[in-house]
Amino acid sequence: MTSMSIEQALGVWSQLEEAREGKASYGSDVAEIYAFRLNPHCPKMLHGSDGDEEFGPRFEANLKWLVGMFEKKRGCKVEILDDTWFHRVHVKVTKLGKD
């Protein structure tokens, strides 16, 4: 079960689309996804602290669910490049086959 709004999911989905097309602002096929984008209701994150113990796992679960859906629907492989789940993660998106 995810705990993100449609608006949050679509915002991150658009970042994944940009990376899939090699146009991500962070670096062509790598998107930089900030944790608060999937949970803006965590004030600690907005003020630069490490957040609470529940936030990291929630962000991780939301992002992994969304990435799984993106891979299935868009025919690509998404690799999460970081192993820390508090402020941001970087994900590399690679197309599989042709559109």
- The DSSP bridge partners found for residue 88 are 34
Task: State pLDDT tens for residues 34-68.
Answer: 887 777 565 454 444 445 556 677 888 889 999 99
Please give the structure tokens belonging to residue 67: 């990435």
Higher pLDDT, 58 or 22: 22
Q: What is the pLDDT of residue 46?
A: 45
Least confident of 1-5, 68-72, 81-85: 1-5
Domains, the chain, with CATH or none:
6-95 (1.10.10)
Q: Taking 80 as the threshold, does the pLDDT of residue 73 lie above it?
A: yes
* Arithmetic mean of pLDDT over the chain: 83
Asked if 80 contacts 91 with a C-beta cutoff of 8 angstroms, the reply is: yes
Dist CA 45 CA 67 (whole Å): 22
Dist CA 80 CA 60 (whole Å): 10
